[in-house]
Amino acid sequence: MKMVVENGTMEGSALGEALMCTFCEMIVFWIQVQLKQQKTKDMVFQHINQLCETLPNPIGKSSVNCDYLELLPDITFTIGCI
């Protein structure tokens, strides 16, 4: 993330990725402001974790909390319409 913020270029990236990078830049700026205002790191990271858990992923990538795998339903993917 640091490299993206410092570089400032988005050559060859998809629109979703560009939007995500802009969003990440805003989050990094917010974190910097909070820390300059003497907010605790724990408080800042708590807010960031809550934000990340509630936002949909605009570039379609998802992850699963592996601690709950046994509680998740079985799913099936069809690739190539076969």
Half-sphere exposure of residue 78: CA atoms within 13 angstroms, side-chain side: 2
> pLDDT: is 18 or 1 the higher one?
18
Specify the pLDDT at position 14: 56
Give the phi and the psi of residue 81 in degrees, each rounded to 5: 55, 35
Q: Kindly report, residue by residue over 3-17, the tens digit of the pLDDT.
A: 444 444 444 455 556
The length of the chain in residues reads 82
Q: Kindly report, residue by residue over 15-58, the tens digit of the pLDDT.
A: 556 666 787 788 888 888 888 888 788 888 888 888 877 776 66
Instruction: Map tokens 């708590």 to a residue.
Output: 46
Amino acid at 72: L
